[in-house]
Chains A and B, each alone.
Chain A
């Protein structure tokens, strides 16, 4: 898997190729190269105009081209005496091997026996059984002489010597490096020599990851200071700024120094310095990847805060919500009206990173609504993972006591007691409190929501002047605890710099990322401008670099959604009230060629969502939108029901339009590659539907698992290959509450 740089024979000066698909290095660099390496300027392609008719000729031509140009060492037949020597060596190794095995199996640890394993390992350091044998032999010897430190040292030193000569034979032997670690862990006093030895090795092969791993091990063992190690990376980068292993180690060291706020390592001072260092490398040669990755890491350090933060919630702080028993027709345009048959409403917490440990002890609720003392918090995540960005609890608002017509204040404290921890192990430390008001209404009239929901009519545009939106959405995360000034400055400086860099893929991509970072941590006012520039950059990249098209396309979608949700003005252009649905809040994001969903943390209040005519292939992300009752995904690129899996978390979802997608075009679901069909397991839950029509369930298992968990009243599936009489009859069984299928009312 590794390159053998050190063993390579010197490369013959090669010619410049003229017809490169890409000029590999800048002109000035090529010049300095041709000077420093005195490459001959010779053209290989002399055969271009000749015609060869037969296959044999083609073969000969190719092979001769190959021999002339591509073999540093021409392949030569072994001379008889060389072959004999090689065979003798192999025979010797076989002899050693079998003697060694006998010693090993008979647990013979005499000096002769151990010396034999030395010989074996010096020829073949890969013989891991021999390394293990030596460990046993050392343990055996040490058990006799524990009290004599000199003797212990002699024994261990001998091990180090064997490892060293084995490493000279093969620098990438896992067994040899591991044995060395094992010896040092025994407490060898010559540990001080290790770094000197490593220095020599690392000069020979600067990218050897075994050596770097070992270096980190020694540093930890000897408690060498991270500052000293940082200086070592200074030297390594100074002598070869393309050495990414050195840059990587620098990032590891700095992460640790910054995290523990070591003397002189405050982020606001240190990170700007690092930007200057890496600029040097990037601007010297922009094709060199090392600097770019380090730059990416720096940007991450500039933007991200380790400790998890609460990004948003529903209901949001100081908002008012209206609650009904059952579904009802009201016209409370100022508020989010919410009705549910179950008499509870979701309380949603959205964190900036996946966290675990959200529970009734880490989140406390102070309210007069009864029966909510021991709330059950559930992570909204796939596959029962216990960490998630989104957590939800259901608050009861109908209890045995009549509580209608009253207003209740609900105070939520997040992180009251420690326990909320990010998946990287950082504690949610800043306790955060928010309050909202819930107005509980009696059921005004009987539910009449059996009518079909149309995405065409009955929508009122949002009054942009009204202040409703502020009450609905927390549009800005409070960055108060983040000392953002230096971050903004550092990013602004980088942006100025990269605008100067001539157009290159990586330059544009970095600029787009910087602008995105700037938008994330700056004030509302300037955001719109940035987003437009970001969108342009991604468009350019899509055209420039078509092999990474989908990646840029996804980033473009993310930027677009960030733009839409960046301000009240932007958002209100997409918001509507649906008259026939209690004036539900409807967000229309149709026709935006979105390939990915983002920014849901700002859309938790949305009840109807129109994503039709986009390029979505999955509903990943929508699971956070716990209020969603109607979803339009028609004319997208959904290919299977498994891609709708995240909708299973949406307990309020009643109306789903997935018409005109690609469901069923291929009978085999792609996820089969990843996990075999759950039905291939004998343990899958046999419920009523499953036992009634096993063949249909087997055929439509992915639809079965999604529809079974949804509570749909209206489903549109036309325009998919899967649609048809058989599938319809299957749907009726799996979704018994369905009233409308493909625009037709079902006879019940």
Chain B
């Protein structure tokens, strides 16, 4: 091993991706304002067309997703909800009916009617029904049988199996606990030893791997962290190294990578940004002091704020009314007296570059004809659409200390026209829908 080659395959690929991304950015930077405005806009109509078409009829090339049909429902319906829209009654009834047929007679949901109940598809089904909302959707879930199913999937090592005789990993743990938490059926039997199992998957890098011995991975890191928070054992993780790992997965392209030294991928916008915000809220970090040469923060007066909104690279400069809208919304919610001295303290500085991330998603992941993708040159798909939009929502709300504080215009690249519904960070369902569901399932208990 004395001689190391001067350039590796990964480096070449990284270089080519950077080239694409920076090419796109420099094209954006040198474009006129109308083009810029168009480029960072979420193409809502196109996006909705793409999603609605997907819901009505999946093309033949999706047959490989046959064992993941509740997932397809979730990716699409959650994406629609993020855009602030709902599906019509027919589609809603179809979806409830379809998922009902995926539900096994002794609990849990399979990847399609007649398929074996599986934790991941159960998670997708429950999240879909939560997102659809309403008595009919909620009561279609058999809570008691689901509890039995979860207990059957529990392994003696503390973790969960994906399905009968299936693999044990952190994904399974997360989906089980997320379901149990929303349906309000968490008990000691489900949580026993679970924290130990997740702990054994945290690597020295700081992130969490899929199973003991695996390298840290964005998807599993989200799953592991969310699980530990949901079972109230999060302080057992090494949170400092976790934070360190996750924030440094944002690279020069401004998107997130999934693992150390891998290429950027739009879907990690959610998997990595959500842990950042969760950790930051956990540490109640709120350093608002101006700092650094390229500080994006102002000193705490409204004048600064107004001024600031103008030198953002956000092309929506003309949208001055939006900042007033913020304060209106605040007083409308009735819990925040808006006055100058506390204005800035309601906000936290995200530990990652939120605007940079939004820029990556909008310029490199969004497909102008609808849908989102991993990166430039890749085809769109519903999975990436769901997690790019979810991540975009997380990034837009990363400054807010809590779910009730609406973001400011300058937090949202492209302005309020791009605003997406906030999500519950632990379950990735739209906040309002989560609240409705939680109330229902608490009454059900």
A135–B61 alpha-carbon span in the complex (Å):
28
CB-CB under 8 A from A105, the residues of chain B are 114
CB nearest to A248 among chain B residues: B215
CB-CB under 8 A from B219, the residues of chain A are 1
Verify B164–A132 contact, CB threshold 8 A.
Answer: yes
Q: Which of B152-160, B320-328, B342-350 contacts A (4 or more CB under 8 A)?
A: B342-350
Verify B38–A423 contact, CB threshold 8 A.
Answer: no
Q: Which of A49-57, A429-437, A470-478 contacts B (4 or more CB under 8 A)?
A: A49-57
Q: Which of A67-75, A144-152, A316-324 contacts B (4 or more CB under 8 A)?
A: A67-75
The A interface, classified by DSSP as helix, strand, loop or mixed, is helix
A668–B281 alpha-carbon span in the complex (Å):
12
On whether A17 and B38 interact (CB within 8 A), knowing A33-B12, A51-B32, A240-B8, the answer reads no
B318 CB to closest chain A CB (Å) equals 14
Q: Which of B79-87, B299-307, B401-409, B411-419 contacts A (4 or more CB under 8 A)?
A: B401-409
CB nearest to B271 among chain A residues: A1
Verify A129–B115 contact, CB threshold 8 A.
Answer: yes
Verify A547–B352 contact, CB threshold 8 A.
Answer: yes
Choose one: B34, B351, B356; the contact of A57 (CB below 8 Å). B34
Verify B267–A1 contact, CB threshold 8 A.
Answer: yes
CB-CB under 8 A from B164, the residues of chain A are 132
Verify A70–B351 contact, CB threshold 8 A.
Answer: no
Q: Is A223 positioned at the interface, with any CB of B under 8 Å from its CB?
A: no
A132–B167 alpha-carbon span in the complex (Å):
11
Q: Which of B47-55, B124-132, B139-147, B197-205 contacts A (4 or more CB under 8 A)?
A: B197-205
B316 CB to closest chain A CB (Å) equals 14
Interface residues of A in 229-264 (CB under 8 A from B): 234, 237-245, 248-249, 251-252
CB-CB under 8 A from A241, the residues of chain B are 4-5, 8
CB-CB under 8 A from B340, the residues of chain A are none
Q: Is A178 positioned at the interface, with any CB of B under 8 Å from its CB?
A: yes
CB-CB under 8 A from B233, the residues of chain A are 383, 385
CB nearest to B18 among chain A residues: A24
The contact string, 1 if C-beta is below 8 Å from chain A, for chain B 15-28, is 11011101111110
The total of Cβ contacts below 8 Å across the A-B interface reads: 352
Number of interface residues of A (CB under 8 A): 141
Q: Is B134 positioned at the interface, with any CB of A under 8 Å from its CB?
A: no
Verify B34–A52 contact, CB threshold 8 A.
Answer: yes
Verify A19–B261 contact, CB threshold 8 A.
Answer: no
Verify B287–A615 contact, CB threshold 8 A.
Answer: yes
Interface residues of A in 606-656 (CB under 8 A from B): 615, 617-618, 637, 639-640, 642-643
CB-CB under 8 A from A662, the residues of chain B are 286, 342, 345
Choose one: A14, A21, A277; the contact of B25 (CB below 8 Å). A21
CB-CB under 8 A from B250, the residues of chain A are 547
Verify B34–A55 contact, CB threshold 8 A.
Answer: yes
Q: Is A18 positioned at the interface, with any CB of B under 8 Å from its CB?
A: yes
Verify B22–A21 contact, CB threshold 8 A.
Answer: yes
On whether A15 and B346 interact (CB within 8 A), knowing A54-B34, A62-B39, the answer reads no
Choose one: B116, B218, B263, B342; the contact of A128 (CB below 8 Å). B116
A325–B1 alpha-carbon span in the complex (Å):
71
Verify A15–B22 contact, CB threshold 8 A.
Answer: no
Q: Is B292 positioned at the interface, with any CB of A under 8 Å from its CB?
A: yes
Verify B289–A242 contact, CB threshold 8 A.
Answer: no
On whether A17 and B23 interact (CB within 8 A), knowing A126-B64, A284-B6, A300-B204, the answer reads yes
A93–B63 alpha-carbon span in the complex (Å):
8
Number of interface residues of B (CB under 8 A): 125
A1–B383 alpha-carbon span in the complex (Å):
9
Choose one: B7, B29, B336; the contact of A19 (CB below 8 Å). B29
Q: Is B335 positioned at the interface, with any CB of A under 8 Å from its CB?
A: yes
A459 CB to closest chain B CB (Å) equals 29
Q: Which of A109-117, A290-298, A338-346 contacts B (4 or more CB under 8 A)?
A: A290-298
The contact string, 1 if C-beta is below 8 Å from chain B, for chain A 546-563, is 111111010000000000
CB-CB under 8 A from B30, the residues of chain A are 19, 45, 47-48
Verify B258–A19 contact, CB threshold 8 A.
Answer: no
CB nearest to A553 among chain B residues: B287
Q: Is B190 positioned at the interface, with any CB of A under 8 Å from its CB?
A: no
CB-CB under 8 A from B331, the residues of chain A are none
On whether A618 and B336 interact (CB within 8 A), knowing A44-B23, A385-B235, the answer reads no
Q: Is B353 positioned at the interface, with any CB of A under 8 Å from its CB?
A: yes
Verify B403–A14 contact, CB threshold 8 A.
Answer: no
Interface residues of A in 70-108 (CB under 8 A from B): 70-72, 83, 86-87, 89-90, 93-94, 97, 101, 104-105
**7 tightest Cβ-Cβ pairs between the two chains A and B:** A546-B292, A242-B10, A90-B60, A19-B26, A48-B30, A248-B215, A58-B35
Residue positions of A touching B, CB distance < 8 A:
1-3, 5, 11, 14-22, 24-25, 29, 32-33, 36-37, 44-45, 47-48, 50-55, 57-59, 61-63, 65-66, 69-72, 83, 86-87, 89-90, 93-94, 97, 101, 104-105, 123-124, 126-129, 132, 135, 170, 174-175, 177-178, 181-182, 206-207, 209, 212-213, 216, 234, 237-245, 248-249, 251-252, 277, 280-281, 284-285, 288-290, 293, 296-297, 300, 354, 381-383, 385, 387, 423, 542-543, 545-551, 553, 595, 615, 617-618, 637, 639-640, 642-643, 662, 665-675, 680, 721
Residue positions of B touching A, CB distance < 8 A:
1, 4-16, 18-20, 22-27, 29-32, 34-35, 37-39, 59-61, 63-68, 110-111, 114-116, 118, 162-167, 199, 203-205, 209-211, 213-215, 217-219, 229, 232-236, 243-244, 247-248, 250, 252, 258-263, 265, 267, 271, 278, 281-287, 289, 291-296, 335-336, 342, 345-346, 349, 351-353, 356, 368, 374, 376-377, 383, 401-405, 425-426, 442
